[in-house]
Chain A
Amino acid sequence: MTTNGWPLWEVFVRSRRGLSHTHAGSLHAPDAEMALRNARDLYTRRNEGVSIWVVPSAEITASSPDEKDPFFEPSADKPYRHPTFYEIPDGVKHL
């Protein structure tokens, strides 16, 4: 089997009561239709009412681990960026 005709797909599943799609795993399939069917067998055990997304792995752009520092590191020396120490007034309900 060559993986050329059977590229890798990433599978995202939303369970029946779930709020969002979660990455469930990956699989090989010749096209999106077949990827959906295979994902249903592999990752949902055919639970009714779930939603499946399949995406060709090649379509996903990931952040690079090398750029982790400049990309994700918050500026810890600027406390005004971290509004964690404000006191919440009693009347505020949905914060």
Chain B
Amino acid sequence: MSDTAVITTAALALGDDALVLSHRLGEWAGSAPVLEEEVALANIALDLLGQARILLSLVGDEDELAYLREERAFRNSQLVEQPNGDFAHTIARQLYFSTYQRLLYGELATGDGPLAGLAAKAVKEVAYHQDHAEHWTLRLGDGTDESHARMQRACDALWRFTGELFQPVEGLDVDLTAMESTWLASVTDVLTRATLTVPEGPRTGAWAAGAGRQGLHTESFGRMIAEMQHLHRSHPGATW
């Protein structure tokens, strides 16, 4: 594989992660529990969209990539495409993903690869995302009986999607095994402080989910990109 193709694979995987999660968070607009949280979620979505634009631009035309690819050509992990669900589901997804992103970008930023510049900028943003997710995990987990139950349910439901994050990706020159154990320790620490139980289900293997990096996605993803791509496909070649 040539150098360019290697960068393409990595940039597409990370760019699609950011693009898809940004779209999911955008769906919260007007529906967040309080106005202040609405702003926070929109802020995170905007950060992620910014990351997606830079990463996809490394691969080709960002609009073409976002709006004209079929479902099978997207390389995002299945975790980020999961529906928002209740607020606890959104927070659990944020906790799992932002912890991963912070470790990944932290490591990429120290290297001298083609993604180092982007990672150095993005790591500050994702540190905020992780802080936001951790705070809400603590609040919901250690809140009322109802919020505790919902947060536990959300953590359990999304657990099987987390193994995929640590599958090797061509061009991502990082120690994924070491990163995974750091991720596990960090998430375990937050869940324990939030009085939650670390889910016991498998994260890899036959019962786990996760072939998004190979272009296989879960059912709700098709509907999500249909909505995302609708206008561009209705008016091909338009400028805005």
Contacts and interface: CB of A to CB of B under 8 A. Distances in A.
B157 interface: no
B135 A37 contact: yes
Interface in A16-37: 27-30, 33-34, 37
Determine the interface band of chain B, counting residues with CB < 8 A from chain A: 10 to 19
Given A37-B132, A46-B128, A1 B33 contact: yes
B60 to A, nearest CB: 30
B238 interface: no
Given A33-B135, A46-B128, A41 B33 contact: no
Contacts of B35: 28
Contact of B36 (A33, A42, A46): A42
A41 B131 CA distance: 13
B34 A41 contact: no
Contacts of A28: 34-36
A41 B40 CA distance: 6
A10 B8 CA distance: 48
- Dominant secondary structure at the B interface: helix
A38 B40 contact: yes
Interface residues of A, number: 13
Contact of A27 (B36, B43, B135): B36
Contact of B43 (A33, A34, A41): A41
Interface in B137-158: 139
Interface string A27-59: 111100110011001100010000000000000
B108 to A, nearest CB: 21
B48 to A, nearest CB: 14
Contacts of A6: 34
Given A37-B132, A37-B135, A46-B128, A1 B34 contact: yes
Interface of A: 1, 6, 27-30, 33-34, 37-38, 41-42, 46
Given A1-B34, A28-B36, A38-B40, 16 more contacts: A6-B34, A27-B36, A28-B34, A28-B35, A29-B36, A34-B36, A34-B135, A37-B40, A37-B131, A37-B132, A37-B135, A41-B39, A41-B40, A42-B36, A46-B43, A46-B128
